[in-house]
Chain A
Amino acid sequence: EVQLVESGGGLVQPGGSLRLSCAASGFTFSSFWMTWVRQAPGKELEWVANIKQDGGEKYYVDSVKGRFTISRDNAENSLYLQMDSLRAEDTAIYYCATGATAAKWGQGTLVTVSS
């Protein structure tokens, strides 16, 4: 059974950094694109970024380009999202999902950016 467990969320001040992790199990992680999606409180879903199997292609939504970096460690079956220069509007639940088409989702981790 596919399992995705996000961690690393928390409260951070504007301008600060956080690194989110997503631990994957139950499937061959190295064979799949992986995706991050976020959802601000009470708002709709927003696609954030995704990464190819070997990390050789990465795509981002414009609002996070230059501030967020997606990466992966296939040996550790883990996906990451390094978030720098955080803003209040980055406050959201962050979900990782399998594939470029977001087939299976984790339960999410909450990031709050506030002073």
Chain B
Amino acid sequence: DIQMTQSPSSLSASVGDRVTITCRASQGIRNDLGWYQQKPGKAPKRLIYSASSLQSGVPSRFSGSGSGTEFTLTISSLQPEDFATYYCLQHNTYPCTFGQGTKLDIK
């Protein structure tokens, strides 16, 4: 199975900060990766697909980049509603696999 390693596992930041989360794949997955945001008690919501395409309706402060084995999710200026847990998902090879998550909380 392809292992997806997310870093950091947790992160404290302030409103207005620029934040970057990384996912590394144990083997190349082209750009077959999505990023998801999950708030407590809620279903995940996809933010980014195909590594760098912004899901319709998602604010432009979210962006994704990368290809192959290394991917990043960047939030350019944190807003109060962005404090949540973020996951990556590779769908290049079955079984699809998620990263272990990055919990973003308020400093």
| Interface residues, chain A, with chain B CB atoms under 8 Å away | 35, 37, 44-47, 50, 59-62, 95, 100-108
Contacts and interface: CB of A to CB of B under 8 A. Distances in A.
Contacts of B101: 44-45
Chain B CB within 10 Å, residue with most, of A35, A45, A100, A105: A45
B94 A45 contact: no
Contacts of A106: 43
A44 B97 CA distance: 11
B98 A105 contact: no
13 contacts: A44-B87, A44-B100, A45-B36, A45-B44, A45-B101, A47-B96, A47-B97, A47-B98, A62-B95, A101-B89, A102-B36, A102-B46, A107-B42
Interface residues of B, number: 22
B46 A103 contact: yes
Interface string B80-106: 000000010101001111111100000
Contacts of B96: 35, 47, 50
A24 to B, nearest CB: 14
A52 to B, nearest CB: 12
A37 to B, nearest CB: 8
A106 B45 CA distance: 10
Contacts of A108: 43
A100 B102 CA distance: 23
Contact of B34 (A50, A62, A102): A102
B98 A103 contact: no
Contacts of A61: 95
